[in-house]
Structure 1
Amino acid sequence: MAWWQIILITLYSGVQILDELQIWSGLNTPIGAGFIVGLIMGNIPVGLFIGASMQLMILGVGTFGGASRIDATIGTVLATAFSISIHGMSPQVAISSIAVPVATIMIQLDILARFTNTYFAHRIDHDIETFNYKGIERNYLLGALPWALSRAIPVFLALAFGRGLVQAIANALNGSWAWLGNGLSLAGATLPAVGFAILLRYLPVKKHVAYLILGFTITTLFSVIFFNVQSLGTGIAAISKGFSVKFNGMPMLAIALLGFALSIMHYKGSVNEDKENVTKNAVKLADSSDETKGEITDDEL
């Protein structure tokens, strides 16, 4: 791993948390981290694979208020960097042996960043009392330092001094501990399914089970049809040299657009239903006011 790659990945690690807190451009997500680090390391497909797997793992995980959660983005950063630079480390092993443990450890550093940031918050309170507007602006900007350093420092230390340790672990998992390496590969491959399970646990599945069944059926149906057509085209091309037509599989974008269309239909139906309910309630309220018109209430007595 070159020195400039370590510097760029470290800078990205510090900036991405500020992006998450303020801008939310999407580059601070695991899939965004996989793309950026994969681009820096020269292997975007591996970065996207690790980032997408971690993204799926945390689909149903959220944070509210001051709560901390696992930092899947930093886990993706280190897993992608080591998976590409370390010989013999597959993306699945990198996910289960690096990404998940690092993402869990980063909870403690996230708490430390929040705790340290209270120093600047108290200084801002003091500046507000003394009407020191320059001090308010300065301490507000300085408050970004604990957040950025809580991500940049561990990433730099891991990339600069941890490569030898990770290489030794990779050699062991491919050697005498191959049984453990195979288990970690299997665990890394199943983590996206865990993320889907968590997501389905918190989504209103019972209320919208029809859409769940419809989406699963459409995806499976089109996948089977396009796969068979693609296989048929490949067979014909092998027999006839003049057959040059290419059959591609159904892209995930098409499936996503189908889901988007269904969501629009459901949203419009819900809006129309809400409008009808409001109109009915208004009519009932008007009728009840007409019926009670002229009556003497206790207050008027």
Structure 2
Amino acid sequence: MAWWQILLLTLYAGYEILDELQIYSSLNTPVGAGLIAGLIMGDLKTGLIIGGAMQLTVLGVGTFGGASKIDATTGTVLATAFSVSIKGMSPQVAISSIAVPVAAIMVQLDVLARFANTYFAHRIDHLIEENNYKGIERNFLYGAIPWALSRAIPVFIALAFGRGLVQTIANSLNGNLKWLGTGLTVAGAVLPAVGFAILLRYLPVKKHIAYLIMGFTFTTLFSVLFTSIQTLGTGLQAANKSFTATFNGLPMLAMALIGLAFAILHYKDEISGKGGSGKGGTNEAATTTESTNVASEGEITDDEL
């Protein structure tokens, strides 16, 4: 791993937490981290595989108030860097053996960054009493320093001094501990399903089960349809060299637009239901609200957020 790669990844690690706190450019997400780390390491595909898998793993994980969560972004950066630079380490093994443990450990450093920031908060309280507005602005910006260092320092140490350890682990997983390496590969492939399970528990699935069924059905039907068309086109091209047409699969954007269409229809139904009037309208609305609450029992709703 070149020195400039370590430097760029360290700088990005310090930036991504600031992006998450205030800038919101989406570069702080695991898939964004996979994109950046993949570009820096020269293997965009591996970066997106790891970033996408970690994004799905934490898909239903959120924070409330000042709670800390696992740092899947930092885990993605290190997993991508080591998966590309270490011979014999597949993205799946890097996800389960590096990305997830690092993401969990970073919770403690996240708490440390919050704790260190109280120093600047107390200084701001004192400066408020003195009406020192310039000092307040400076100390507000100083608060970014412990946040950035909480990510940049561990990433730099791991990249600069941890490569030998990770190489030894990779060699062991491909040698005497190959059974463990196979297990970690399976675990890395299963982790996105865990994220989907958390998300489905988080969303009001019981209330909108019809949309969930339709979404899975449409996705499956279109996948089978376009796969069959591509297979047919491949066969025709093999039989007839003059056949040059290509068949592309249904893009994810198309599925997203279908989902948006259903969301718009549901929104209009909700608006028309709330704005409806007439005899017995109040009783009907109360009955609908009561049945909705019963159907959504145990689910996290917008009111609870």
Question: Unpaired runs of 5+ in structure 2?
Answer: 283-305
Matches within 5 A, 1:189-204: 189-204=189-204
Matches within 5 A, 1:93-112: 93-112=93-112
Alignment-derived partner of residue 71 in structure 1: 71
Decide whether aligned partners of structure 1 residues 80 and 277 sit closer, same or farther in structure 2, where only a CA change above 3 A counts: farther
Q: Does 1:152 align with 2:152?
A: yes
Q: Secondary structure at the match of 2:276?
A: helix
Alignment-derived partner of residue 276 in structure 2: 276
1:272 offset after TM fit, Å?
2.0
CA distance in 1, matches of 2:9, 2:268: 44
CA distance in 2, matches of 1:6, 1:110: 21
Question: Unpaired runs of 5+ in structure 1?
Answer: 282-301
Matches within 5 A, 1:32-51: 32-51=32-51
Residues 219-271 of structure 1, C-alpha deviations (whole Å, 9 max, x = no match): 00110011011101000101110100111222222112211211111112212
Q: Which amino acid aligns with 1:117?
A: N
CA distance in 2, matches of 1:119, 1:213: 51
TM-score, normalisation: structure 1: 0.91
1:211 offset after TM fit, Å?
0.3
CA distance in 2, matches of 1:278, 1:96: 58
1:278 offset after TM fit, Å?
11
Matches within 5 A, 1:186-225: 186-225=186-225
Size of the aligned set, in residue pairs, is: 281
Q: Which amino acid aligns with 1:172?
A: S
Q: Does 1:84 align with 2:84?
A: yes
CA distance in 2, matches of 1:142, 1:67: 22
Alignment-derived partner of residue 31 in structure 1: 31
CA distance in 2, matches of 1:24, 1:278: 45
Q: Which amino acid aligns with 1:83?
A: S
Q: Which amino acid aligns with 1:47?
A: G
Identity %: 72
CA distance in 2, matches of 1:278, 1:149: 61
- More moved, 57-66 vs 148-157: 57-66
Alignment-derived partner of residue 255 in structure 1: 255
- More moved, 160-169 vs 269-278: 269-278
- Backbone CA RMSD of aligned residues: 1.3
Alignment-derived partner of residue 21 in structure 1: 21
Q: Does 1:138 align with 2:138?
A: yes
CA distance in 2, matches of 1:27, 1:278: 50
After the TM superposition, which parts of structure 1 deviate over 4 Å for at least 4 consecutive aligned residues?
A: 277-281
CA distance in 2, matches of 1:29, 1:175: 34
Matches within 5 A, 1:49-64: 49-64=49-64
Residues 120-167 of structure 1, C-alpha deviations (whole Å, 9 max, x = no match): 000000000110111101111111101000000000000000001101
Residues 81-123 of structure 1, C-alpha deviations (whole Å, 9 max, x = no match): 1111111100000000000000000000000000000000000
Q: Which amino acid aligns with 1:65?
A: G
